Amino acid sequence: MRPMQSGQASTIAFIGGGNMARALIAGLLRQGLPPRQISVGEPAVDVRAALQRECGVAASADNAAAAGNADLVVLAVKPQHAGSALRALRAALLQRQPVVLSIAAGLRLADLARACPPGTALVRAMPNRPALLGAGVTGLYAPPSVTAAQRALVELVATAAGRAVWLRNEAELDIVTALSGSGPAYFFLLAEQMAQAAERLGLTRATAALLAAETLHGAGMLARQELPLAEQRAAVTSSGGTTEAALRVLEAGGFDALIASALQAASARSRQLADMLGAQLEPPQAGDAHSTTPP
């Protein structure tokens, strides 16, 4: 990426204006980034109109026009469309040399690089669904060639809808996918089962569902405190009390092994999907000498 001058405003282009892109844009605006520094490339007329009306950002059907002046390009398209989207941006990537942040699930950096000019700075992100409410957490990975200034710009976007954590290697993104990407569904399932069990014990369905949902919400807020999770659990568990009785049943049923197996299965599936997506990514066009260079 071009060196940023002190005080120079960074411009950010989103390629794709779907739910996650809109959540990030809204977060950036809340943080004080002026709408004029954000542009969006989006083919759907109604989505472009909504972005312009609700966020005040420029939205175009032409991805190359949207990314023409960007310091950071956020690739927010479906994985199967990533290759063609990046190749359409080749001129902008060559001229402007922005950093490209991919939130296209499952596509590895080597696969993305096949559609980019040599030396394009690429970063991968794995956000999760709570980002839609500004309460997300995003796993980030950048190869060593990505500069500190580029990482800072990426982190600005990633933290617009929650928290972010940098990973040591790209393979850890599969674990992040299993833990925080898929994780909300595990908690929803637990709350669902708790509500159903309480209903069978005698509560009304509405009361049980409300108590389960609010307990999930409150526990999540407590979990964000500085105390380790084990200490948080211990603070709720009185010796000889009701919580201890319930936890003993979970332990006897192999709860820890079941959770470990679930995350292992999700992580393995993430790797399998990445292999499949990489193989299905549109092949480079004939004569695209830039398309075989990894990041």
Whether 284 shows a pLDDT value over 60: the answer reads no
Taking the model in full, what pTM does it have? 0.89
Domain 12-172 has CATH 3.40.50.720: yes
The 10 Å CB-count burial string (b at 16+, else e) for 18-51 is: eebbbbbbbbbbeeebeeebbbbbbeeeebbeeb
Q: How far apart are CA 274 and CA 129, in angstroms?
A: 20
pLDDT digits (tens, 9 = 90+) for 231-283: 999 999 999 999 999 999 999 999 999 999 999 999 999 999 999 988 877 65
- Equal fold, 12-172 vs 181-274: no
Say which CATH architecture domain 181-274 belongs to: Orthogonal Bundle (1.10)
Whether 74 shows a pLDDT value over 70: the answer reads yes
Residues 6+ apart with CB under 8 A from 272: none
Q: What are the extents of the domains in the chain?
A: 12-172, 181-274
